[in-house]
A and B are shown apart, each in its own frame.
Chain A
Amino acid sequence: MSETVESVSALIIQKLLANPKVPRDIDGNCKIMEDLAFDSLAVMNFVMEVEDSLDVSIPLDKLADIRTINDLAACIVALKNKG
């Protein structure tokens, strides 16, 4: 089954909502650091959870360009299609 940006984004949001500190009204356009108040380490640790769920590794340099949940989803879909 191939993932789409929408399906990956939905999965990311579902994972984020499992954390009670995350605001309830997030969507794909939310900025991960600014809107969710994640520090740099929290972002990297969260990304690792998503990586393990979707069986993908996101190189750290790609992470630098990611601002929103949809950016992260698009990056994962691109990496999976490349693989």
Chain B
Amino acid sequence: MTSLFSKFEGTAGALGSVVAVGGRNPFAVVIEKPVSSTVGIIEGRETLLFGTNNYLGLSQSKNAIRAAQEAAAACGVGTTGSRIANGTQSLHRQLEKDIAAFFGRRDAMVFSTGYQANLGIISTLAGKGDHLFLDADSHASIYDGSRLSAAEVIRFRHNDPDNLYKRLKRMDGTPGAKLIVVEGIYSMTGNVAPIAEFVAVKKETGAYLLVDEAHSFGVLGENGRGAAEADGVEADVDFIVGTFSKSLGTVGGYCVSDHPELEFVRLNCRPYMFTASLPPEVIAATTAALGDMQAHPELRKQLMANAQQLHAGFVDIGLNASKQATPVIAVTLETAEEAIPMWNRLLELGVYVNLSLPPATPDSRPLLRCSVMATHTPEQIAQAIAIFRQAAAEVGVSPAATAA
């Protein structure tokens, strides 16, 4: 009998060697108790959290916690149904109106996760005979959405509007609609997309543009509306997709658009229709967190100042950090043999970051991916930098890795 599980032999071998090198499974870390937005108990120790995507610290928002408690008491803990059946309560529609108003758009759709928002919107908009153009470094949810779609999928070079333009021009005269998909901030590297240049390409080639602002919502732009706002080109972006599970500290995804047909997308979108809607307490907490975010623009300023402090600190101690200082800062190492002990040592010394190993990284080198929060104090950031310096020295991170 052929084993169903023989396909996992590669994973088993790879995981075995990661555990053998470092002593623990980096993909099975347990936060025993969150102490605050910036500190959690891991392996019984207070650990600085520098890998949680909780950019504004709102997972611990007092307003959101209270709203969740009140909603659960008033409405119960679940909807037990799909958005298009019994799973839409007043709270869900109100959140959609609030999100649409925040972005200054005609309408919004709220999904149960950010992953499902990309899966649903991309697969539904791009149908048979259409063409999807994806940035090569797109998130898995974008690739998976393209696999669920019947459209032809073309990949273009990361953050390269000229390469996209060339690929669109090759399709001149080919029937079918064209949809370009890019992200505001890339989750692994912190790279910011040149949205204004993508808009220029879209206009010249008659394509539609979707921007996934998952990591840039609440982070970039004067009002926190993301990379499109920062570039002053929101009106030319057809669809913005995002998540509540980063800046707003809860869970769920959304799509906003001025296209009135979004109403019909709802009735054709399988990841929206065939899953239960978010429970009332999550919707209420998200609405409250959106209010917090709008009421406290200073969080965004503090976030960027903190990102600059961490980034400058990494550069100062000779680490190969991301090009730009955004709240996602990746430290690139040359080999997994360096990255795994370094990650383990950081955790033992009291800093949690994300370990990313190839092929889940863009250029086949491992990353120590850090995310910064507005609620980190300057002292916590200084401590994290000192711990990085100690861990790099102890592990003997090679000089090649320090050449930026």
Contacts and interface: CB of A to CB of B under 8 A. Distances in A.
A16 to B, nearest CB: 15
B170 A55 contact: yes
Nearest to B174: A83
A2 interface: no
Interface of A: 39-42, 44-45, 48, 52, 55-57, 59-61, 83
A55 B166 CA distance: 8
Interface in B119-167: 136, 146, 152-155, 157, 163, 166-167
Nearest to B361: A41
A81 B358 CA distance: 36
Interface of B: 136, 146, 152-155, 157, 163, 166-167, 170-171, 358-359, 364
A77 B117 CA distance: 37
B327 to A, nearest CB: 25
Contacts, number: 33
Contact of B358 (A39, A57, A59): A39
A60 B136 contact: no
A41 B157 contact: no
Given A42-B364, A48-B136, A56 B359 contact: no
A48 to B, nearest CB: 6
5 contacts: A39-B359, A40-B359, A44-B136, A57-B171, A61-B153
Nearest to B168: A57
A44 B146 CA distance: 15
Contacts of A44: 136, 155
Given A41-B364, A55-B170, A83-B170, A61 B136 contact: no
